[in-house]
Structure 1
Amino acid sequence: MAVFDGGRRAGDPRGLPFFGSMAIGGVMGLSTRALLRLVLMVALGSLASVGWLSAAAQAATPVSKDEYRLGSGDAVRITVFQNPELSLEARVSESGVISYPLLGSVKLGGLSLTQAEKRIADGLREGNFVKQPQVSILVVTVRGSQASILGQVNKPGRYPLEQADTKLSDLLALAGGIAPNGSDTAVVSGQRSGKAFRKEVDVPLVLAGKQSEDIGIQAGDVVFIDRMPMVYIYGEVQKPGAFRLERDMTLMQALAAGGGLTLRGTQKGLRVNRRGSDGKVEALTPGMQDTLRDGDVVYVRESLF
């Protein structure tokens, strides 16, 4: 019985590996035509394996969904390692292309930085300009992906979305937060999948950590913060005037905000003037625990005795 030791056959005086000796013997016995066919098969198999490895390497480096994607108007700085003549600053055109030496017009709009770097590197390598190009891209100015925030915020304006996963809370932070006279509701409008999009967001829920309310902001979105809801009190109260209508504020709480009733004021016959959806003003006589609405006008009568 043959015994194998480290790929050698026991008793083999040549000391050659068993499989190696078999292969050599088989090759020596082949004709020239068969030998050429064998070499061709081995070469084709090597090329196929190289192509498979290249595809696998590309698939093994997925692009993060949170990576910024280039847009029209963005200014980028492109650097090619050890090739300073190929390094330059360029601005992405409205059609999403830049003009690059040796390559001409290169489409970069909509690509992540990783994809854009690969596209330029592939062009330099396939054109035999640089054997192993190492390309890096830095966004100097973000112009393509911007969103606006308007209304009652401390710093309204247009802000760049430097990250693909920018949230409403991030945009509010860039705008310095909601102003003291701002509402607790943010209205986000824009487009999603080619259709008009509008959503009212309860900002206190966002600040409380409710992730579902902290929606993502996309390029072209507009966030509007309305003025805070107001309630107006006049008549026999200590401090008549306009007051912020807090959430679920009752008539009693509103009177307390106004400093309470004067000595001549009375709780009897309290009247609330409320404008309806049709624009008409209706006079109501609510209870002390009834909630008020934005724009309500509270009147406190003078006591007859």
Structure 2
Amino acid sequence: MKQRCFFQFLIVTILLFLNSYVYAEQSTGEYMIGPGDVISIQVWDHGDLNRNVEVSQEGDFTFPLIGKIHTSGLSVFELEKIITDKLNSGYLISPQVTITISEFKNQEVFLFGAVKKPGSYVIKGKTHILKLTTDAGGFEDESGMSATVIRPKSPLLKNKPITLEQAKENEMITIDLNQVTISSTDDKFYILPGDSIYINKMARFFVTGEVKKPGIYNWEKDLTIREAISIAGGATPRGSEERAWIVRRQDNEEKQITPDMGDIVLPDDIITVPKSYF
């Protein structure tokens, strides 16, 4: 339940942050041209045909002699072949066409959460997550050293906001940043165009009541109730550690639980050590 609530929170945050952007599908290997990209077309020995064109939101553009060309989802090499073949069909003899991407509008990614400079970034093909976070000024002190990447499975049309249910269809990847180095080559450590990356904040828990050092503490996996109370200095002479209770959020409600001392603490738990009866 806690994981599902976090996922919904993350999706809603992304929808508010990104609302009108376009996501482009990305396959492994050659960059796929998409809406907003500016492409430079050169036809050798025919300078009158050379031009820069911007791909429309419908994924096409017009070119002399040929007319409208649909290019969204094509690689540069595929588009070169299409234009070459069309020009070779009654217009030019053995044309040589060269295409380059002048502006990678479709290469945006979105980074937010516990980094110093959250926002949109332009990448050149797949990019290592540590390269991206370095460009964003590094991690905030409150970073939990884990990242959640939401990767679209299909393009989202500009100015057509998506629903929460549509967003859930996207792929969600969790990365333990403590396990990543710049030399890590696993595919999951690389960011693709259209990705949204949330650097998770450090999880906390709270200890209050009859303990020597009440306060907020950094959560660790597999931490027990007894260990959490010990981190807070242990119970005072007036405290009853064995009668501690937890306030935990479940199903969007705060519930009071009486745990065993060996039970595991969850993020955002509030542990209270009451006074002893004696």
Query: What is the TM-score normalised by the length of structure 2?
Result: 0.66
Compared CA separation, residues 232 and 68, structure 1 to 2 (3 A): same
Unaligned 5+ runs, structure 1: 1-63
CA distance in structure 2 between the partners assigned to 1:115 and 1:127 by the alignment: 20
For 1:245-256, what aligned pairs fall within 5 Å after superposition?
245-256=219-230
Give the drift of 1:256: 4.7
Moved more, 263-272 or 76-85: 263-272
Residue 243 of structure 2, aligned match among 269, 278, 299: 269
Q: Deviations over 1:222-243 (max 9, x none)?
A: 4444443220112344442222
Aligned residue number for residue 190 of structure 1: 152
Q: Deviations over 1:127-165 (max 9, x none)?
A: 443x343322221222235443443344333344532x5
Give the drift of 1:70: 0.4
CA distance in structure 1 between the partners assigned to 2:134 and 2:274 by the alignment: 45
Give the drift of 1:68: 0.2
Aligned residue number for residue 60 of structure 2: 97
Give the drift of 1:116: 1.4
Residue 71 of structure 2, aligned match among 83, 96, 108: 108
CA distance in structure 1 between the partners assigned to 2:147 and 2:192 by the alignment: 19
Residue 267 of structure 2, aligned match among 294, 299, 303: 294
Contact 1:191 1:221 in 2 (8 A): no
For 1:1-305, what aligned pairs fall within 5 Å after superposition?
65-129=28-92, 131-160=93-122, 162-163=124-125, 175=136, 179-183=140-144, 184=146, 186=148, 188=150, 190-191=152-153, 196-204=169-177, 207=180, 211=186, 214=188, 220-260=194-234, 267-277=241-251, 279-287=253-261, 289-301=262-274
Give the RMSD, CA atoms, in angstroms: 3.8
CA distance in structure 2 between the partners assigned to 1:278 and 1:109 by the alignment: 42
Give the drift of 1:186: 1.3
Contact 1:255 1:261 in 2 (8 A): yes
Larger Rg: 1
Give the drift of 1:94: 1.7
Compared CA separation, residues 154 and 88, structure 1 to 2 (3 A): same
Percentage of pairs with the same residue: 28
Q: Deviations over 1:177-212 (max 9, x none)?
A: 654434435152533599823435243486386947
Letter in 2 for 1:232: F
CA distance in structure 1 between the partners assigned to 2:124 and 2:102 by the alignment: 11
Contact 2:246 2:270 in 1 (8 A): yes
CA distance in structure 2 between the partners assigned to 1:192 and 1:91 by the alignment: 21
Q: Deviations over 1:217-271 (max 9, x none)?
A: 6655444444432201123444422222122222344345435555765644333
Higher relative contact order (CA 8 A, sep 6+): 2
CA distance in structure 2 between the partners assigned to 1:253 and 1:127 by the alignment: 80
Contact 1:271 1:286 in 2 (8 A): no
CA distance in structure 1 between the partners assigned to 2:240 and 2:185 by the alignment: 43
Unaligned 5+ runs, structure 2: 1-26, 157-165
